[in-house]
Amino acid sequence: MKIAVTSASGHLGSAIVRQLIKEIGKENVIGIARTPEKAHRLGIEIREGDYNNREHFNKALQGIDAVLLVSGMDDPQKRIQQHRNVIEAAKLNGVHKIVYTSIIGDENKTAFSPVVQSNRQTERDIQESGLAWVIGRNGIYIEPDLEYIDQYVKAGEIRNCAGIGKCAYTSREELGYAYAQMLLHEKHNGQVYNLVGEPITQENLAKLINQAYGTSLSYNPVSVEAYAEDRKEELGEFMGTIITGIYEGIKNGSNDVPSDFETAAGRPHKFPMEMIELFKNR
């Protein structure tokens, strides 16, 4: 069985590749990347695949039995056609199964909603493709908070607009494990899974980081408007708006959802402290 993983050079794509290698061997895993040289470190065959280029995927998916489609990072409306390029190329090449990395979130109420809407459209496109399919809706990764720890320490706090809302954090490694199982086992076909862990507040997150790293961070909530102004100033209009929308969604309860992780992965999701410790000690 030959399995291809798109965006193989990225954090999530490479985590899925690494788990698949453990499961079925590197000779059965194909990486697809817009810039192939960035993925050669994975030690597998790498094929070129830019989501904007349908012909790339017509070639990249030749001889492939199943494909893992990692959601693109472009403008939400551009993503829909980009993902369709992969879906149509999969059909053309006789690919049997497609697994898609979608996302948890509210479709209507935040600045992040356009991203969620585009993911939902791709979910529908896949479900109507005629291929066997599985869809995972990813929770928020915990890694960016941990990668940002130096800035938190400098500020002495975690500051955002999530308030007392709970976020069911996951990690790229946890998702890598779950997606490998979803690709390999037919019992998952036709399912949509919430791939999330235990819901915690930002105050809980600060306490866990303090426990793991010996820091003394506090959590200080701010308004959505104030946080949007701060994020846009640091990250630019597009990314600042997206990040604000994510935390606004946490505030509104969009990321406090039941987990299907154990059904998808065949084992429980790691607790937040376990993910933090694994990141710290990697």
Residue 138 has a pLDDT of 97
Kindly tell me if the per-residue pLDDT of 10 is higher than 90: yes
Looking at the chain, the whole-number percentage of residues with pLDDT higher than 70 is: 100
Q: Are 8 and 39 in contact (CB under 8 A)?
A: yes
Of 225, 206, 188, the C-alpha closest to 146 is 206
Kindly tell me if the per-residue pLDDT of 63 is higher than 90: yes
Q: What is the rounded distance in angstroms from the CA atom of residue 29 to the CA atom of residue 64?
A: 9
Residue 276 has a pLDDT of 98
Residue 191 has a pLDDT of 98
196 pLDDT tier (thresholds 50, 70, 90): very high
Q: Are 252 and 167 in contact (CB under 8 A)?
A: no
Q: Which residues of 116-136 are buried (b: 16+ CB within 10 A; e: fewer)?
A: bbbbbbbbebbeebebebbbb
CATH number of 3-138+171-195+258-269: 3.40.50.720
Lookup: tokens for 4: 């291809």
198-213 mean pLDDT: 97
Q: What separation in angstroms does the CA of 276 have from each of 135, 141, 198?
A: 26, 11, 13
Q: What is the rounded distance in angstroms from the CA atom of residue 78 to the CA atom of residue 234?
A: 24
pTM higher than the cut 0.85: yes
219 pLDDT tier (thresholds 50, 70, 90): very high
Q: What is the rounded distance in angstroms from the CA atom of residue 266 to the CA atom of residue 94?
A: 29
Q: Are 124 and 154 in contact (CB under 8 A)?
A: no
Q: Are 194 and 167 in contact (CB under 8 A)?
A: no
Q: What is the rounded distance in angstroms from the CA atom of residue 261 to the CA atom of residue 22?
A: 20
> For strand 199-200 and strand 167-168, is the pairing parallel, antiparallel, or unpaired?
antiparallel
Q: Which residues of 211-249 are buried (b: 16+ CB within 10 A; e: fewer)?
A: ebeeeebebebbebeebbebbbeeeeeeebbbbbbbbbb
Tens digit of each residue's pLDDT (9 = 90 or more) over 23-62: 999 999 999 999 999 999 999 999 999 999 999 999 999 9
Looking at the chain, the whole-number percentage of residues with pLDDT higher than 90 is: 94
13-25 mean pLDDT: 98
Tens digit of each residue's pLDDT (9 = 90 or more) over 82-114: 999 999 999 999 999 999 999 999 888 888 899
Helix then strand count (H, E) for the chain reads: 12, 11
What residues contact residue 190 under an 8 Å CB cut-off, 6+ apart? Answer: 132, 133, 134
Residue 76 has a pLDDT of 86
Kindly tell me if the per-residue pLDDT of 182 is higher than 90: yes
Residue 7 has a pLDDT of 97
3-state DSSP call for residue 51? coil
Q: What is the rounded distance in angstroms from the CA atom of residue 248 to the CA atom of residue 253?
A: 9
Residue 73 has a pLDDT of 86
Residue 205 has a pLDDT of 97
64-92 mean pLDDT: 95
74 pLDDT tier (thresholds 50, 70, 90): confident
Tens digit of each residue's pLDDT (9 = 90 or more) over 220-252: 999 999 999 999 999 999 889 989 999 999 999
Kindly tell me if the per-residue pLDDT of 77 is higher than 90: no
Residue 51 has a pLDDT of 97
Mean predicted lDDT score pLDDT of the chain? 96
